[in-house]
Structure 1
Amino acid sequence: MKLAVDVHYDAEGAHAAAVAFEDWGAAEALRAYTSRISHVEKAPRGELDLRELPCLLQLLREHALDPEVIVIDGFVHLDAQETPGLGQHLFHALGGRVAIIGISKTAMAETPAQFEVVREEETRPLIVTCAGIDLGAAKARLRTMHGRKRVPTLLKLVARLAKGAGG
């Protein structure tokens, strides 16, 4: 099983969501999961924002999820020197046994072109970083994900699910 995950914050805490799928080209999720996180600490000023990490770990624990791959909205590495981002911290928290693919709609200041994936000819590229899977393989998986637009269908779905879980 593969998961696409996202976290949405509100005044009281956060909602973590996941959609499960088997086939990279799937148009619909096999199953959806949500978890309510009652309290989320603010990220210390000037430090990497890792608020999503405990939210995602709680979601995985609560629903006894054991995926082979997790796709996150964000970075696994922040640069070509592999400075750890949220995805790398998640990879280590899961003991390195679950591949993590990070997809971002915006590049960091010094993001090399090797991390870019264009899903449509006339759109800006998505940025792909990963751990536990080869970058070329991660980029190929992203290209095959369902959706005619820049962002794959299942990533849009999990974002809506996280935002809608609270209300």
Structure 2
Amino acid sequence: MKLAITVHFDGARACAAAVAFDAWDAPEASQTYVTSIAQVDKPARGEPDLRELHCVMQLLREHALAPELIVIDGFVHLDAEETPGSGLQLFHALAGRVPVIGVSKTSRPGLTAQFEVMREEEARPLTVTSAGVDIGAAKVRVRGMHGRKRVPTLLKLVARLAKGGE
């Protein structure tokens, strides 16, 4: 089972959501999971922001999930020099046993065209970063995800779940 995961923050509260899928071109989730977190404290000044990591780990524990791969809404690396992003924090928290693919609708200055995936003509590309899986393979998988629009169907679904839309 693969999981697409995102976290939505609303003040001090958070909601972590995941959708499970088996095939990259799956049009719908085989299962959905939601975890509400009542209080998420901001990091102390100068400390790394690990709020998203803590929420994802709570979701995985609460639902006893052991995915073969995780797709996150965000960055695994913040630049081509592999500066750690939230996805790399997750990869390390899972002892490097679960590959993580980060998909973002925005780009970052240090991420060149080699990290871009075009899913729809005349639309802006998605930015893809990864840990535990080759970037080329990660891009092929994201490009092959279901959905005719720029953002894959399952990534739209998990975002709605995290925001409380379903």
* Fold conserved between structures, TM > 0.5: yes
Structure 2 residue runs of 5 or longer lacking an equivalent are none
Distance 2:35 2:141 in 1: 27
Distance 2:34 2:65 in 1: 12
Shift of 1:150: 0.4
Contact 1:48 1:85 (C-alpha < 8 Å) held by counterparts: no
Distance 2:52 2:152 in 1: 21
- Find the counterpart in structure 2 of residue 154 from structure 1: 154
- Find the counterpart in structure 1 of residue 73 from structure 2: 73
Number of equivalenced pairs: 166
Shift of 1:39: 1.3
- Find the counterpart in structure 1 of residue 18 from structure 2: 18
Contact 2:5 2:16 (C-alpha < 8 Å) held by counterparts: yes
- Find the counterpart in structure 2 of residue 9 from structure 1: 9
1:1-167 → structure 2 map (5 Å cutoff): 1-44=1-44, 49-164=49-164
103 and 45 in structure 1: CA distance in 2 versus 1, 3 angstrom threshold: farther
Shift of 1:49: 3.6
Residue identity (%): 68
